[in-house]
């Protein structure tokens, strides 16, 4: 599953069972106070039998952090914590997603979607872009900049996984 975290909405995308094509799934209304969006996300992970989650990690063009970077990191860490509390072990990865929202806007504009209708789907399209980038890299045995999000109670070295390498531009914690 691909996840694009925003201030007001969270876009979700799924891949087909063969991991070839990412498609839009849903846009969740973000609720920072109750985290009800993550509760819905966890339910969707179970319903769709998701085996890995790729959360967009919006680094700056120079590879630094911003408020959006921290928001994505906090969201992914909360998801990992809640999955562990549920007794579920679904790997959650933060992956570089620079320009996916810009690309989503461009795609929607080229498809003739009016600017006022963007809100309803732009987060899903960004999630599709995040997931498709990951699927394509994995299929071509390429690495993605990013890292696996770990539970704070799990000491030890940073785990690696298929195609995701620890970020070289900053602290992965």
Give the model confidence (pLDDT) of 144-154 as tens digits: 778 999 976 54
CA separation, residue 113 to residues 106, 107, 152 (Å): 10, 9, 42
Residue 107's pLDDT is: 64
Phi, psi torsion values for 145, nearest 5 degrees = -75, 125
In the chain, what are the domains? Answer: 2-165 (3.30.420.140)
The residue written with tokens 């969270």 in the block is 10
Query: Parallel, antiparallel, or unpaired for β 2-5 and 9-15?
Result: antiparallel
**Distance, CA of 100 to CA of 104 (rounded, Å):** 6
Rounded Cα distance, 134 and 164, in Å:
9
Q: What are 23-43's pLDDT values in tens digits? A: 999 999 999 899 999 999 999
Mean pLDDT over each residue of the chain, to the nearest integer: 81
């Amino acid at each position: 599953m691909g996840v694009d975290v925003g201030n007001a909405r969270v876009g979700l995308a799924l891949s087909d069972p063969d991991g070839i094509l990412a498609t839009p799934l849903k846009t969740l209304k973000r609720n920072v106070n109750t985290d009800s969006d993550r509760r819905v996300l966890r339910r969707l992970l179970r319903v769709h039998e998701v085996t890995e989650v790729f959360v967009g990690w919006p680094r700056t063009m120079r590879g630094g952090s911003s408020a959006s970077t921290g928001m994505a990191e906090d969201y992914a860490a909360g998801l990992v914590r809640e999955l562990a509390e549920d007794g579920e072990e679904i790997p959650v990865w933060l992956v570089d997603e620079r320009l996916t929202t810009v690309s989503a806007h461009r795609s929607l504009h080229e498809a003739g979607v009016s600017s006022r209708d963007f809100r309803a789907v732009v987060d899903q399209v960004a999630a599709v872009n995040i997931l498709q980038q990951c699927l394509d890299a994995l299929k071509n045995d390429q690495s993605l900049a990013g890292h696996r999000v770990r539970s704070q109670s799990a000491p030890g070295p940073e785990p690696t996984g298929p195609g995701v390498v620890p970020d070289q531009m900053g602290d992965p914690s």
